[in-house]
Structure 1
Amino acid sequence: MPVIERARIGAALRRWLLSGLLVLVPLIVTLWVLEWVISTLDQTLNILPEAWQPERWLGVRVPGMGVLLALAIVLGIGALASNYVGNQLVAWWHALLQRIPVVRSIYSGVKQVSDTLLSEKGNAFRQALLVQWPREGLWTIAFLTGAPGGDVARHLPPQDYLSVYVPTTPNPTGGYFVIVHRRDVIPLAMSVDEALTYVISMGVIVPGARRGGAVASASIPGAA
């Protein structure tokens, strides 16, 4: 077989291999995550008495039954907490945990974060920004979270500084809280979801690439 023909076949095989990986890898990772979530939530069934186990009265194990039970529990607690009596019970439980020294600090911190992220009125990430991090000359994506408050505001005027969150990649749940001057950030004309996708993909998926054209300039809320 001529050398040119072998090179052509080798190039075709490499192209097919990469094309197959591009199709299969996202699918496999997605299925793996779903399987992990379902198997984890299925552990919720362990709180039921043995006589009530679905496997006992169905005669076969059905994956996902724990997901339905967990969803029912969350909905039930949400419905209970939405009325007056449930509200009082939640307030009593919250006050009780606030009196336990070690638990108090952990619970309060987690509750404040969850209230910000999960509340219907919450607005944890307000805008995508471009900041120099971890040193001048290097740029990365950050998210506006607010303005300095408390005693920090006494030393750093809120009108001049911004509180931002710099996520890590590919896992944006870890990152750094940084207070920066307004003049040192560049607002981005992309949504928070687009910016998160950009971070998670390590810059591979570029927001706005499909739309093309120039994007409108953005502005920081509250900026002069």
Structure 2
Amino acid sequence: MEAERKTFAHDLKKNVRRRLVTGLLVVFPIFVTFFVIKFIFSLLGGILSPVVRKTFIVMGYVPGNIRFDDFIITSFALVLTFVLLYFIGVFATNVFGKFMLGFFEAVLHKTPIINNVYKSSKKLIELVSLPGRKAFKRVVIVEFPRVGMKVISFVTGGIKCKDGTELTSIFIPTTPNPTSGFLFYLPESDIVETNMTIEEGMKLIVSGSILVPEEIEFSKKGRPSF
């Protein structure tokens, strides 16, 4: 009876912890997305608000000695931001716009420091904005940082060397921040396949292995010896 109580308490504690972490993983990206969007539009609205305010004053809608309501000013600034972004998108898709954008990028690529920042941010935007492209193909296990130690990693693609050797690109994310990590090229023989989905793999990384699938199946190529 006592053993059953301990088992029940342990299972209950484990279940509560799992649900709490799952809820956190659901809410956290929503919060971050909301915060980033709010920050961007607050920044753009703050830049354009003085322009909108002066425009209203010049047009005679608001006397210069009366402060116009900040909410109205910010609203017009945000609308202006959407309009500007739209026309920038239109400009970037026509022939002349593509030429100017290419020239601008060429200048940035030749500028030290700015070059790395621009290319990294552009790659990140392309990664998250293309729904048809899957950054991670599958979840695998490799030995890192030394023989005998196993880590969860993600297959991102592959390359073919001039001698005909084919290597698989492996991304090993850090915990709990998966946006940084290590990139390696390994032969398929060094990779152990799993039945984990990309979502399960990311949850495991972000939660620090708190959210682990009940069972993980490995391929017959080489079951890791944990």
Tell me the residue number matched to 2:44. Answer: 44
Asked if the contact 2:109–2:115 (Cα under 8 Å) also holds between the matched residues in 1, the reply is yes
Query: Which stretches in structure 1 are left out of the alignment for 5+ residues?
Result: 1-10, 220-224
Q: Deviations over 1:4-26 (max 9, x none)?
A: xxxxxxx9xxx8xx78x939x83
* Count of residues paired in the alignment: 191
What do you get for the CA RMSD once the two structures are aligned? 4.3
Q: Distance in 1 between matches of 2:75 and 2:196?
A: 36
Asked if the contact 1:131–1:186 (Cα under 8 Å) also holds between the matched residues in 2, the reply is yes
Asked if the contact 2:194–2:217 (Cα under 8 Å) also holds between the matched residues in 1, the reply is no
Work out which of the residue numbers 168, 171, 191 in structure 2 matches 1:185: 191
Asked if the contact 2:46–2:74 (Cα under 8 Å) also holds between the matched residues in 1, the reply is no
Q: Distance in 2 between matches of 1:45 and 1:172?
A: 31
Q: Distance in 2 between matches of 1:40 and 1:181?
A: 43
The structure-2 alpha-carbon separation of the partners of 1:34 and 1:144, relative to structure 1 and needing over 3 Å to count, comes to: closer
Displacement after TM superposition at 1:164 (Å): 0.7
Q: Distance in 2 between matches of 1:78 and 1:72?
A: 10
Asked if the contact 1:189–1:218 (Cα under 8 Å) also holds between the matched residues in 2, the reply is no
The two structures have a TM-score, normalised by structure 1, of 0.62
Q: Deviations over 1:90-131 (max 9, x none)?
A: 112112223334433543454445445544554432222111
The structure-2 alpha-carbon separation of the partners of 1:31 and 1:112, relative to structure 1 and needing over 3 Å to count, comes to: closer
Q: Distance in 2 between matches of 1:31 and 1:122?
A: 22
The structure-2 alpha-carbon separation of the partners of 1:35 and 1:116, relative to structure 1 and needing over 3 Å to count, comes to: closer
Asked if the contact 1:38–1:66 (Cα under 8 Å) also holds between the matched residues in 2, the reply is no
Displacement after TM superposition at 1:38 (Å): 4.8
| Higher relative contact order, chain-length normalized (CA < 8 Å, sep 6+) | 2
Asked if the contact 2:193–2:218 (Cα under 8 Å) also holds between the matched residues in 1, the reply is no
Tell me the residue number matched to 1:147. Answer: 158
Identity of aligned residues (%): 24
Q: Deviations over 1:64-99 (max 9, x none)?
A: 998877666555433432233322221121122233
Asked if the contact 2:49–2:73 (Cα under 8 Å) also holds between the matched residues in 1, the reply is no
Tell me whether 1:92 sits opposite 2:103 in the alignment: yes
Displacement after TM superposition at 1:168 (Å): 0.6
Tell me whether 1:198 sits opposite 2:204 in the alignment: yes
Tell me the residue number matched to 2:114. Answer: 103
Asked if the contact 1:147–1:158 (Cα under 8 Å) also holds between the matched residues in 2, the reply is no
Query: Which stretches in structure 2 are left out of the alignment for 5+ residues?
Result: 1-8, 54-66, 222-226
The two structures have a TM-score, normalised by structure 2, of 0.61
Once the two structures are superposed, the pairs formed by residues 113-128 of structure 1 within 5 Å of their partners are: 114-116=125-127, 118-120=129-131, 122-128=133-139
